[in-house]
Chains A and B, each alone.
Chain A
């Protein structure tokens, strides 16, 4: 089954403790992206990647890092998490970056930073 898988689905942690949220897709997609969703603010793009070793900042990249060492994986790294990064995070992928390609979203990861 074609899917985007995020782990963990839920995480409660403390300020400053590095964490990684993994994202994997099995559709051989070139384009991958991370979003955060906060009440009243909708979905905001954090980082995106057009292909292996190519990443770009989205609208709200501060405090986050990403890497794209292989096509299927696009982890989101919070080096020193802070409470304002408490949010619902979604990973998405599409065949390529072209505007006519639909995105497939994961089920989300709810992060709470205390």
Chain B
């Protein structure tokens, strides 16, 4: 079973911020939170990851709750090219383990 829970789908208007939530209530202290996205007909693409602190990069921001049981991927200004399936996964930082993707959130961007 997936270790993370995400809404099946979300909609947002173009040029507005998007907040994609992820719940991971059973996260362990050594789990990193990773986000990937999959554009139509492509392989998944890394977006961002973090452990405890909020993270920013050129693609997005990652806000991590203080108790680390949830996180939010923030796209600051959505474009039509951001329409994709977004996956939130956990990866243990100190031991090898199989990686479990959930079904992700399908993000629709309305022009």
Given contacts A42-B101, A45-B100, contact A98 B43 (CB under 8 A): no
Contacts of B32 in A (CB 8 A): 99-100
Q: CA of A43 to CA of B99 in the docked complex: distance in angstroms?
A: 10
Evaluate contact between A43 and B101: CB separation under 8 angstroms. Answer: yes
| Total chain B interface residues with beta-carbon distance under 8 A | 27
Q: Which of A13-21, A62-70, A74-82, A101-109 contacts B (4 or more CB under 8 A)?
A: A101-109
Contacts of A48 in B (CB 8 A): 96, 98-99
A70-114: CB near B (< 8 Å → 1, else 0) gives 000000000000000000001010000111111111111000000
Q: CA of A109 to CA of B43 in the docked complex: distance in angstroms?
A: 10
Given contacts A99-B32, A99-B91, A100-B49, contact A58 B98 (CB under 8 A): yes
Across the A-B interface, give the 3 residue pairs with the lowest CB-CB distance, nearest first: A99-B93, A105-B43, A99-B91
